[in-house]
Amino acid sequence: MSTETSIAYLSHARYGKDKVRVFRIVREGNWHHVVEYNVQALLEGDIETSYTQADNSVVVATDSGTCVDGLLCTSMMLIGFYPNTSVKNITYCDLCPPFRRDFHLSNAENPLDMAKTSPHILHPERFALHLGTFLVSKYAHIHKAFVTIEKLRWQRIAVKEGEEAKEHPYSFFRDGDDKTITSVEIDGTQGKDKLTAKVSSGIADLLGSLFHLHQASSIPELPSAVLKSSGSAFTNFVRDEFTTLIEVDDRIFSTSIDLTYTFTPFPVTLEFFESDTAGAQEKGTGTPWDGETVAASARRITLELFATDDSASVQVSRSNGISSTHACVPS
């Protein structure tokens, strides 16, 4: 087809790596910290010719040691990858054990193995900011990086010692299926010395589904871990010839919740993450630097509101949850 008559054009391009698994152990003597992430990292920039002219000179290959999966996959063994194509911008890598046991920062063999060397690995917001800032700072033709981290839950096992139960220093269990989700956009379109960061975080897969008390005889088995057996109603809705739902002033209520909150954008530099240059404002309460505390507060507020709110509808409960979270974490 002649390019003169073609109406097809490339409006924008983004590529990178998805489903990158990171498992990290940080040891403080006999006291161990563990995190497990699923990471997606995507890049935007002057890469159009890789799609339109078969010009790979602008492509940061996602299987190289200095690209996305090389930066992240230090905890697993890379056993395969699929190359990037213009049809499918997000590519996958397959990872498998064995897990490495020498995860001390001082043992870093490659300074680009960010999952191994980043001092922010235990904090998803900080780690995503560090990774995204590095990618945009490293490559002159890359102007934006998008990093999404899904953090899986691991809780220390309580072991009884005498009359008290204490947390075990290196044994953990998964205490819920909900996940903390963090999405970071690093924008360098105004210049490498004027990077800005946008951070959104939240919770996914917290609860289950919705059904009514009068339908209790047909309640299916649900994976939901949280429900309330009272304190929820649904009345005064539109009723016409198509309506079969019965109005109820008391029902069983269990709802699936995905919560997302967005922080105020702020400027960043690579030195910000590789040295202790962040000031009180950047590291203040309720900022992305305080992401773990914010996530815990959002989860607690959501569950407390679910339990205590005398709900007239799912919509009202959602609105009250948003207002309560924002009131506690205004940034």
Identify any residues that bridge with 23 across adjacent strands, giving them in sequence order. Answer: 36
23 belongs to an annotated ligand binding site: no
Radius of gyration, CA atoms only, the chain = 24
Are the beta carbons of 25 and 33 closer than 8 angstroms?
yes
Are the beta carbons of 59 and 53 closer than 8 angstroms?
no
What is the Cα–Cα distance from 291 to 151, expressed in whole angstroms? 12
277 belongs to an annotated ligand binding site: no
Helix (H) or strand (E) holding 291: helix 291-308
63 belongs to an annotated ligand binding site: yes
- The answer for 155, left when phi > 0, alpha when psi is -120 to 50, beta otherwise, is beta
Q: How far is CA 276 from CA 119, 120, 138, in A?
A: 11, 12, 20
300 belongs to an annotated ligand binding site: no
Where do we find the tokens 């309720």?
286
Q: Dump the DSSP string for 295-329.
A: HHHHHHHHHHHHHH--BS-HHHHHHHHHHHHHHH-
Residue type, 312: A
Structure tokens given for 245? 């739902």
Q: How far is CA 75 from CA 19, 139, 145, in A?
A: 14, 24, 22
Binding residues: 62-63, 234, 251
Q: Give the residue numbers of the binding site for 5-hydroxyisourate.
A: 62-63, 234, 251
- Binding residues for O2, by number, are 62
Which residues are annotated binding-site positions for urate?
62-63, 234, 251
